[in-house]
Structures are given as C-alpha cells and as structure tokens.
Amino acid sequence: MAKASLVESDIEGGRKLLDELKKIDPHFLVRSAFWLYRPETFDWRLFIATPLVDKRGPASAYTDVQGALRSLAKPFWISMQDISVVSPSDKLVKLMNKAVQVPRGVSGVRFARTRVDDTYIEDAYIYRLKPKWADHVFGN
C-alpha cells in the first residue's frame, strides 16, 4: 500500500483545531502537538498532549476535542478517528521532546527518517513540543 501524504490542508486543519481548542477552553493546555505517520497502518495521526488527560481523564479531554471539531466550519476534514489525545508523559511525546526543538515563533517543522532511542520516526510534522519543565521559562 502506498504512503498517504500529509498535505498543506491537513497541516492547516490541525493548526485550526489547536487554535479552536485554545479559544473555546483556555484551560485546555496543549503541551505538544504533532502529526505522525504510522507505517503499520499507512496513515497520519494528530497527537495532542495535554495535562488534562492526567487531571480529568482521557474521555474528558476527547470530549473537549470533539466540541472543538464541531465548532469549526463545515466541512472539516479532520475527524476524531485521526486524533490521539495523550498525556504529556506519553512515551512517544517524550521521545519527540527529546529529539526535536521547535524554535519560538516557528509555526511548525518537519521531522523525518530518524531513530530516537529504539523508535524509528518515518515522518512527522510538529506544531509544538513543550516539556513540563518549560512552563516556568516560557509560560503556558
């Protein structure tokens, strides 16, 4: 099966969703957000890491994301099946934080064909990565 492409409309759609989450719930802190190509399923998945997963549970965090998706103008091509909402302490999020830095003011970076520890990252588009320790340096 051929690799699905991550196109500009996907990247912009992810950005719109992240902006909408911040707009409708200022308490929905996004520590990290990135698209990741998953070769085992031949698809792209948008990972959103938020401390709300640890505080309120994943179901509550997914409910917030679903609400943000509903409030975006239709048709909107990203669906809940394209999204994983995870804790900032998720193994994959930690790996990405270890390997990549997104400079302040940069809207996103591509990260591809790289091994981080024992995990191979075939392709990713990273909006932001923010380890917990950065809160006191950068703010929320």
Render pLDDT for 53-90 as a digit per residue (tens, 0 to 9): 999 999 999 999 999 999 998 778 899 999 999 999 99
Q: 116-125, long-range: CB within 8 Å, 24+ apart, which pairs?
A: 119/92, 119/95, 121/36, 121/95, 121/96, 122/37, 122/39, 123/6, 123/36, 123/37, 124/34, 124/35, 124/36, 124/37, 124/96, 125/6, 125/11, 125/14, 125/34, 125/35
Dump pLDDT digits (tens) for 27-61.
899 999 999 999 999 999 999 999 999 999 999 99
pTM value? 0.88
How far is 43 from 37, CA to CA, in rounded Å? 6
> What is the overall mean pLDDT for the chain?
88
Predicted pLDDT at 26 = 87
